[in-house]
Amino acid sequence: MNLSKSMYADVLVLSPAGRLDHDNCAAFHSALERYLEEPGSTAARGVVFDLGALEYVSSAGLRCFMLAAKQARAHGGKILIAAMQPVVAEIFEISRFSMILEAFPTVRAALESLSPESALAYDRA
Amino acid sequence: MAANGQQLDTMEKANAFVERRFPFSLRRTYGGHSACVEFEPGSKEYFVCDMGSGARAFGEHVLARNAGQPAVVNVFMSHVHWDHIMGFPFFGPAYLPGTRIRIHGCHDVIEHAFRLQQSPPCFPVPFDHLAASIEFIRLPSGQTTQVSGVAVTPKLQLHDGDSYGYRFECGGKSLVYTTDSEHKLESDLNTDGFVQLFRNADLVVFDAMYSLADAVSVKADWGHSSNVMGVELCQIARAKRIALFHHEPANDDADIEQILRETVRFEELTQQGHRLEVLAAYDGLELDL
């Protein structure tokens, strides 16, 4: 599983790709912790997970998103989910993670809800 | 109206119509008894997990099948929280002289708990007045013990005061009973241990009380698990069937049916070359292994 990052104004966008499951969730969690603790990201308004390239997420992977949300909240930030593929969206629904993490159909819509500046930066990129 | 134009002039036709046209949650109920699960390994003796409120109906079944004659009943206790022992004072065979009841478990407080709930002012019949011969047998956790031809392997589970899951094996079939058990997703040791317990099981009776989101957030450390975790563990262990068990009491029949539908769908979405049959336990459910 790959994890790439982009910064749009004051919002960090993290894009995991592939499958997130029991075998790689520990590495994913460590990477998230690093990103969320990086200077700059803690001051960011929030983090958007662009799940457009995430094919599958297991319960252990879902827990990583929840821990990231807790970590972001501790810094006054917010975690949003965006652009889920249908299978991943169904897993969010069945697990009821859809009730604890806010999701948007597109990355831009998620950025717009956090800050207009980040949406404009996304449009320009 | 669904029945318009139908010829439903006998009870058989009416029942068949209801069975065909309506979901389980409308034509029946999942029930509300607390844990009491019998299994029949083909022995004259009886085998049952926990003595929740379902023990009353189980006792009637034992008395009827034995035509009032004394039976030997092997009980396996997950733990002694009240919902798992509350049926015992109403377990009919306990009042029949000659009945032998062997209560197995890994806790050292089982006898104390059984006696306590029949002490004044909780119940009018003291434990010592029961007519059956009642033994309490301590099983070693993590080791296999033969009990009347059944191989019994208890496993320590995460629950307040500890609970134990059981793997039962007999005649080439295996049953896992695992309730009141929380699974910590961050623990590989937890996952590996339960995968070993569930390995190739014909049926896993699984504590699916909460949604996954609740189990890892607001209800973390409450000692229960979720449908999603159950399916994942069974898939890794290549178990054949999972019965969602210990339903959240706040859920009505329609809610449980919805959770079952979603869990079946989750299994479809996540299966990788292994098919797991998903069902939701209800009072009176009988399965052939």
Give the pLDDT confidence score for residue A44 in this predicted structure: 67
Smallest CA–CA distance, residue A117 to chain B, in Å, is: 32
Give the pLDDT confidence score for residue B34 in this predicted structure: 98
Model confidence pLDDT, tens digit, residues B264-274? 999 999 998 99
Smallest CA–CA distance, residue A116 to chain B, in Å, is: 30
Mean pLDDT of A53-64: 94
pLDDT above 90: residue B2: no
Give the pLDDT confidence score for residue B4 in this predicted structure: 77
Give the containing element (helix H, strand E) for B223: none
| Percent share of chain A, pLDDT over 90 | 69
Residues B114, B118, B121, B123: is their CA dihedral positive or negative? positive
pLDDT above 90: residue A1: no
Q: Residue A43 corresponds to which tokens in the numbers above?
A: 């001051």
Contact A61, B212 (CB under 8 A): no
Give CA–CA dist B194/B199, Å, rounded: 8
pLDDT above 60: residue B50: yes
pLDDT above 60: residue A43: no
| Percent share of chain B, pLDDT over 90 | 87
Give the one of A58, A66, A87 whose C-beta lies nearest to B217's C-beta.
A66
Give CA–CA dist A18/A51, Å, rounded: 10
Give the containing element (helix H, strand E) for A20: strand A11-20
Q: Comparing C-alpha atoms, which of B58, B70, B134 is closest to residue B98? A: B70
Mutate to test the interface with A, among B228, B248, B262 (most CBs of A within 10 A): B228
How many angstroms from the chain centroid is the CA of residue B27?
23
Q: Which residues contact B66 (CB under 8 A, 6 or more apart)?
A: B93
- Are B228 and A95 an interchain contact pair (Cβ–Cβ within 8 Å)? yes
Give CA–CA dist B188/A70, Å, rounded: 22
Mean pLDDT of A59-80: 89
How does strand A11-20 pair with strand B203-207? unpaired
Q: Which residues contact A98 (CB under 8 A, 6 or more apart)?
A: A89, A92
Model confidence pLDDT, tens digit, residues B112-163? 999 999 999 999 999 999 999 999 999 999 999 999 999 999 999 999 999 9
| Percent share of chain A, pLDDT over 70 | 95
Give the pLDDT confidence score for residue B258 in this predicted structure: 96
Model confidence pLDDT, tens digit, residues B65-117? 999 899 999 999 999 999 999 999 999 999 999 999 999 999 999 999 999 99
Which chain A residues are closer than 8 Å to B265 by Cβ? 90, 94
Give the one of A58, A90, A97 whose C-beta lies nearest to B265's C-beta.
A90
Q: In this complex, how many residue pairs, one in chain A and one in chain B, have their CB atoms less than 8 Å apart?
A: 53
Give the pLDDT confidence score for residue A40 in this predicted structure: 63
Which chain A residues are closer than 8 Å to B217 by Cβ? 66, 100
A86 and chain B in contact, CB less than 8 A:
no
Mean pLDDT of B172-192: 90
Which chain B residues are closer than 8 Å to A87 by Cβ? 269
Global confidence as pTM: 0.93
State the DSSP code for B142: T
Give the pLDDT confidence score for residue A46 in this predicted structure: 87
Smallest CA–CA distance, residue A93 to chain B, in Å, is: 9
Can you give the residue ranges of every domain in chain A?
2-116
Q: Comparing C-alpha atoms, which of B223, B228, B179, B197 is closest to residue B37? A: B179
| Percent share of chain B, pLDDT over 70 | 99
Using DSSP, state whether A17 is helix, strand or coil: strand
Domain A2-116: homologous superfamily in CATH: STAS domain (3.30.750.24)
Give the pLDDT confidence score for residue B272 in this predicted structure: 84
Q: Comparing C-alpha atoms, which of B227, B211, B217 is closest to residue A67? A: B217
Mean pLDDT is lowest, of A59-68, B98-107, B253-262, for: A59-68
Between B224 and B25, the more confident residue is B224
**What's the pLDDT band for A75 if we cut at 50, 70, 90?**
confident
Give the pLDDT confidence score for residue A42 in this predicted structure: 53
Q: Residue B280 corresponds to which tokens in the numbers above?
A: 């939701």
Which chain A residues are closer than 8 Å to B229 by Cβ? 59
Contact B104, B147 (CB under 8 A): yes
- Measured between CA atoms, the residue of chain A closest to residue B211 is A95
Give the one of A59, A94, A100 whose C-beta lies nearest to B229's C-beta.
A59
Which chain A residues are closer than 8 Å to B270 by Cβ? 56, 58, 91
Give the pLDDT confidence score for residue A35 in this predicted structure: 83
Partners of A16 in the β-ladder: A3
Give CA–CA dist B78/B113, Å, rounded: 13
**What's the pLDDT band for A71 if we cut at 50, 70, 90?**
confident
